[in-house]
């Protein structure tokens, strides 16, 4: 599954969390309550200030809202731990997802857990719910949902999710947009729309000498489209470039297999891996 190559999903989702409203103890109020203790010795008549502030904090911590927030945070940490430890307690994780249907963070973490287990279509559903609820830029969540849909073989869903982003994409330097374009191109190829897949992939800056993982994925998508169009020599050149940059890249085996199945007669040509890395590219 292709999501974000720069960070673990738990960290990416965690970076988005401040946008979700919290009902925890206001840190500013607690800080002022503590600081007010230092003014009391010099002005005894102001003793009422820390008393009022600490009373407000106490009332807040005893409220149902705060207790619900504590429980939700505890459940969220349980799911994060389940992701990191690859826990088999699926039922407990799904119970938490059902318990907080309006929390995009819980839905996203539970989706990540399912994706790691290979339950891609179920993960797509939860990522999609999270993306719809998130109030900010939901591109990461949309990419994750689309990636899971593709991994589940639902390339039609991937296309419908990513197509709207194409017109405003800036693939020159934006890795997020590069990944969206690569995923969209690959999904189009898998639906047999090879010409459009190639057109989409060609929007990527693939002439660069040093390609990072996002652009290697784009090169892979372009090779996939070229194979579908029976442009075998061009496809092989793209595969060679991927191999030269990273002989262990995740799509190489799949591309070589696809090329071998699509070409009627390979004429005894060796695969990229068999040729080795010493040949000039």
SS (H, E, C) 116-146: HCCCHHHHHHHHHHHHHHCCCCCHHHHHHHH
Is the model's pTM score more than 0.85? Answer: no
Q: Do 27 and 135 belong together in one domain?
A: no
Q: Do 91 and 33 belong together in one domain?
A: no
For the segment 221-231, the average pLDDT, to the nearest whole number, is: 97
Check: CB of residue 170 under 8 Å from CB of residue 177: yes
Check: CB of residue 106 under 8 Å from CB of residue 76: yes
Q: Do 187 and 108 belong together in one domain?
A: no
> CA–CA separation, 34 vs 18, rounded Å?
24
Q: Do 6 and 135 belong together in one domain?
A: yes
Q: Do 167 and 229 belong together in one domain?
A: yes
- In the chain, the number of structural domains is 3
Q: Do 120 and 140 belong together in one domain?
A: yes
The pLDDT, as a whole number, for residue 43 is 52
Q: What is the CATH number of the domain that holds 149?
A: 1.25.40
Q: Do 84 and 48 belong together in one domain?
A: no
Q: Do 248 and 167 belong together in one domain?
A: yes
The pLDDT, as a whole number, for residue 56 is 63
The pLDDT, as a whole number, for residue 15 is 57
User: What is the percent of the chain where pLDDT is above 90?
Assistant: 58
Check: CB of residue 100 under 8 Å from CB of residue 124: no
User: Strand (E) positions, 18-99?
Assistant: none
Cα torsion 209, 212, 218, 221 to 10°: value is 100
Res. 66 pLDDT band, cuts 50 70 90? low
Tokens of 79: 């799911």
User: What is the percent of the chain where pLDDT is above 70?
Assistant: 70
Query: In this structure, is the dihedral angle defined by the CA atoms of residues 174, 206, 278 and 229, taken in order, positive or negative?
Result: positive
The residue among 132 and 49 whose pLDDT is bigger is 132
Q: Do 91 and 123 belong together in one domain?
A: yes
Average pLDDT taken over every residue of the chain: 81
Residue range of the domain that includes 223: 160-281
Check: CB of residue 187 under 8 Å from CB of residue 152: no
Q: Do 26 and 72 belong together in one domain?
A: no
The pLDDT, as a whole number, for residue 211 is 87
Contacts of residues 128-131 at CB distance under 8 Å and 24 or more positions apart, as own/partner, are 128/161, 129/101, 129/104, 130/104, 130/105, 131/104
Comparing CA positions, the residue from 126, 117, 119, 130 lying closest to residue 19 is: 130
Give the domain-ending residue among 46, 62, 78: 62
Q: Do 180 and 228 belong together in one domain?
A: yes
Q: Do 11 and 135 belong together in one domain?
A: yes
What's the length of the chain?
281
> CA–CA separation, 190 vs 206, rounded Å?
21
Give the domain-ending residue among 132, 153, 174: 153
Range with top average pLDDT, 29-43, 106-120, 199-213: 106-120
Check: CB of residue 178 under 8 Å from CB of residue 204: yes
């Amino acid at each position: 599954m292709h999501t974000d190559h720069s960070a673990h999903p738990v960290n990416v989702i965690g970076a988005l969390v401040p946008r979700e409203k919290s009902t925890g103890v206001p840190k500013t109020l607690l800080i002022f309550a503590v600081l007010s203790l230092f003014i009391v010795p010099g002005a005894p008549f102001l003793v009422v200030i820390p008393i009022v502030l600490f009373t407000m904090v106490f009332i807040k911590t005893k409220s149902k809202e705060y207790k619900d927030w504590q429980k939700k945070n505890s459940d969220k940490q349980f799911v994060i731990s389940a992701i990191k430890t690859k826990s088999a307690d699926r039922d407990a994780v799904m119970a938490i997802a059902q318990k907080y249907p309006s929390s995009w963070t819980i839905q996203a973490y539970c989706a990540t857990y399912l994706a790691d287990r290979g339950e891609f279509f179920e993960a797509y559903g939860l990522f999609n719910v999270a993306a719809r609820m998130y109030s900010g830029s939901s591109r990461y969540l949309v990419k994750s949902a689309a990636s899971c849909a593709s991994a589940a073989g639902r390339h039609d869903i991937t296309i419908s999710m990513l197509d709207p982003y194409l017109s405003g994409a800036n693939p020159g330097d934006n890795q997020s947009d590069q990944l969206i374009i690569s995923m969209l191109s690959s999904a189009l190829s898998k639906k047999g729309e090879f010409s459009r897949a190639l057109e989409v992939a060609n929007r990527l800056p693939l002439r660069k000498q040093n390609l990072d993982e996002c652009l290697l994925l784009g090169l892979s998508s372009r090779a996939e489209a070229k194979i579908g169009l029976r442009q075998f020599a061009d496809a092989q050149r793209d595969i060679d470039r991927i191999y030269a940059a990273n002989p262990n890249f995740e799509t190489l085996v799949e591309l070589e297999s696809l090329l071998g199945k699509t070409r009627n007669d390979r004429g005894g040509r060796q695969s990229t891996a068999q040729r080795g890395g010493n040949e000039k590219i």
